[in-house]
A and B are shown apart, each in its own frame.
Chain A
Amino acid sequence: MTTVFLVDDHRLFLSGVSAELADSFEVVGQSDDVDTAVDMIRAVRPDVVLVDVHMPGGGGATVVGNVLETHPDVRFLALSVSDAPEDVIAMIRTGARGYVTKSIAPNELKDAINRVAAGEAVFSPSLAGFVLDAFSRSVPVDEDPELDRLTPREKEVLRQIARGYQYKQIARRLNISIKTVETHVSSVLRKLQLSNRHELARWASDRRIV
C-alpha cells in the first residue's frame, strides 16, 4: 500500500484528511510544524507527502526543499486553501509534483495521490490555467528556448485540464493514450520547474497586482 505523510498546521484538517485516506492508503505519520515534519519524513520515508502551503516557520516550500535535499525520492503533493498564483508556482518550483486545493473531492484527492506516487504530475484546473497564462505571456529570453515554450500538444492537454477533464477523458478527446497525456503533463512540470526563473516570478507577482 502506498504510504502517505500529512503536514498541515490545522489539526482539524489533518484528522479529516487522515480519516478520508485511511481505507486506500497507509497514513504513516503527520505533523503540524515545519521542523518536526522534515525530521519525521526523513525518518519514515513515505511514498507521498501531502503538504500545506501556508505554515508558520517557512511554510510548505521549506519542508519540500529541505527533504528533497537529502531524500530526492520522496514525492510531494501540495494541498492548500490558497489559489494565489505565487503560492502555486513557489511550491511547484521547489519540487512539489502537483498542486490541488483543499476543496478537492475525496476521490479526486486519492486519484491525485496515486498519480504522484507513480511519479507523475498533478495539475488542478486552476494550476493548468496559471501555467497557460504564464507561458503565453513570457517572452523567451532564455538561452534554452525549449524550456520557455510549451508545445501545441502540451497546451492542448493543459486546456483540457483547465476545462475540468480527467486524464482518461483527455486521452479519448485528443485521440492519444493516457500514458501520452501523462508524459505531456510531466514535461510541462519539468519546464515549469526549470525555465527562466525571473519571468515566472514576475508573472506571479504581476498576477497578484493586476
Chain B
Amino acid sequence: MLAGVAGGLAESAGLSPIYVRAAFVSLSLAGGVGIILYVVLALVVPDTPDGEPDDISSPATRMQIAGLALMFVALMLILQAVGLWLGAVVWPTTLVVFGLAIAIETSGINYERSLEGVTTGRRSWWLVIGGLGMMVAGLVVVLRSLDRLQSFGVLAIALIVALGGFMIVAGPWLWSLIEDLRTERRARIRSEEKAEVAAHLHDSVLQTLALIQRTDDPKKMVTLARSQERDLRSWLFDENSTDTDSILGALTSAATRVEAAHDVPISVVVVGEASLPSDKQEALISAATEAMMNAAKHSGAAKVSVYAEMANGAIDVYVTDQGAGFDRDSVGEDRRGIRESIEARMQRHGGSTTIESIAGEGTEVQLTMNGATS
C-alpha cells in the first residue's frame, strides 16, 4: 500500500497481501527489523509495470502457508534471541495483528478499496501520516534507549507503537465497516419509505386516475380530482387536518363528504384555535354539514365557502354560497332540514343560527356556538 512491497511479495507467494502486511508490522516491533526490511525491499525489488503482473502464482497450498508461517515464527524467535526485541508486548501484538488480518481477509470486505476511499479524503491522509509518524518516532526512541533497558519506558513506547500499527492496519477497515452498516441502513430506510409512498399512491391517486378515465361527466371528474387533491395534500403536508377531533379536521372531512356527494367544490378556512365540549362540537359540525348539503344541493352555486372563526369563547361558522338564494316562506314543509337539522339542533346545545338569503344572490348561514375554550 506504500511501495507495493507487501502486495508484490504476497503475489509471488500466492498469499493475501494482508498477511504479509501483518508480518511486516510484527517484525517492526522486533526492533524495527520489519521497517528496515520493507525499505530495503522497496529499493531493491524492481517495479512491476502497472497492469502487467510478471507472473501470476496459483494460491498457496496449506503446506506452503504452514511453511511460511513457521519461517516467520523462526525469524521472530531469532530476533528475540539476538535482542532486537521490544519485550513482552511483541508476541501478544503479533497475535492481535494476525487475528485482525484473518478477520479482515475472511470478512469479505474489500480492504484495498476501502483503504483507498479513506485515504483519498484529506483528513484521512493526515490520520495515516500521523499514525506512521507515531510509529517512526516510537521506534527511534526505542532504538536509542535499547541499551539502557528501562523496561517501563520501553513498554510504554512499545504500546504506543503497537497502537499506531493497529490504527494503520485496522482503522480503515473499521471505518469501512461502519460506513457499510450506515449505507445499508440508509438504503433500507429509503426502500421502506418508497414502499409506503407507493402503497399510498396506489390506493389513492392511481385509483382516482382510473376512475377519472372511466368518467364522462366533467363535473364528476373535477370532484374526483379535487377530493384526491385534498386527500393527497393532507397526507403530504398536514396530518392534523385528517384528525376529526379538531374543528378544522371535522369541518374539512365534512366538506370532503358533501363535495363527493354533490360534485360542488367546498373551500374551508379556519381562523384561530379552540375546542368545544364534544356534544356541542358534534351539534355544530352536524349543523354545518347540513348547511353545506343544502348549499351544494339547492343553490346551484359553482362553489361553497366555509369559514370558521374562533374567538372570545365562541365559534362562528359561516356557510356561504352565491347561488339562487331562497325565500324561507316559500320553502315547503317537506324540507325540514333548516328548521330541525340546523336551527333546533343549534338551539338545543346553546347555539344560535342566522340565515341570510337574497333571491338570485346567494345564501349565508351563520352558526354561533358559545362555550369554547382556547
Contact = CB atoms under 8 A, between A and B. Distances in A.
Interface of A: 81-84, 103, 105, 125-126, 128-129, 132-133, 136, 159, 162-165, 169, 208, 210
Contact of A164 (B240, B305, B309): B305
Of listed B267, B273, B322, residue having the most chain A CB within 10 A: B267
Contacts of A81: 229
B200 to A, nearest CB: 18
Contacts of B256: none
Range of interface residues on B (Cβ < 8 Å): 20 to 34
B364 interface: yes
Nearest to B233: A83
B311 A163 contact: no
A133 B271 contact: yes
A208 to B, nearest CB: 8
A126 B270 CA distance: 8
A164 B307 contact: yes
A154 to B, nearest CB: 14
A184 to B, nearest CB: 17
Contact of B311 (A126, A128, A136): A136
Given A103-B229, A132-B309, A136-B311, A163 B270 contact: no
Query: Shortest 3 CB-CB distances between A and B: which pairs?
Result: A164-B305, A129-B269, A163-B307
Contacts of A133: 271-272
Contacts of A125: 267, 269, 305, 307
Interface string B263-286: 001010111110000000000000
Given A84-B237, A103-B226, A125-B307, A210 B269 contact: no
17 contacts: A83-B233, A84-B237, A125-B269, A126-B267, A126-B269, A128-B269, A129-B270, A129-B307, A133-B271, A133-B272, A136-B311, A159-B309, A162-B305, A163-B320, A164-B267, A164-B304, A164-B322
B220 interface: no
Contacts, number: 54
Contacts of A165: 320, 322
A103 B229 CA distance: 10
A105 B302 contact: yes
A199 to B, nearest CB: 16
Given A103-B226, A164-B303, A164-B320, A132 B237 contact: no
B98 interface: no
Given A84-B237, A129-B269, A129-B270, A163 B318 contact: yes
Contacts of B305: 125, 162-164
Given A83-B233, A125-B307, A159-B307, A132 B271 contact: yes
Interface of B: 226, 229, 233, 237-238, 240, 265, 267, 269-273, 302-305, 307, 309, 311, 318, 320-322, 361, 364
A38 to B, nearest CB: 28
Contacts of A132: 271, 309
B209 to A, nearest CB: 15
Contacts of B302: 105
Contacts of A159: 307, 309
Contacts of A83: 233
Of listed B226, B265, B305, residue having the most chain A CB within 10 A: B305
Contacts of A169: 322, 361
Contacts of A210: 240, 273
B157 to A, nearest CB: 57
B40 to A, nearest CB: 59
Nearest to B305: A164
Contacts of A162: 269, 271, 305, 307
Nearest to A127: B269
A162 B321 CA distance: 12
A153 B320 CA distance: 20
B163 to A, nearest CB: 48
Contacts of B265: 103
Nearest to A133: B271
A125 B361 CA distance: 19
Contacts of B318: 163
Given A125-B269, A210-B273, A163 B233 contact: no
A167 to B, nearest CB: 13
A126 B267 CA distance: 8
Contacts of B307: 125, 129, 159, 162-164
Contacts of A136: 271-272, 311
B312 to A, nearest CB: 11
Contacts of A105: 302-303
Contacts of B303: 105, 164
Contacts of B309: 132, 159
A210 B237 CA distance: 11
A162 B305 CA distance: 8
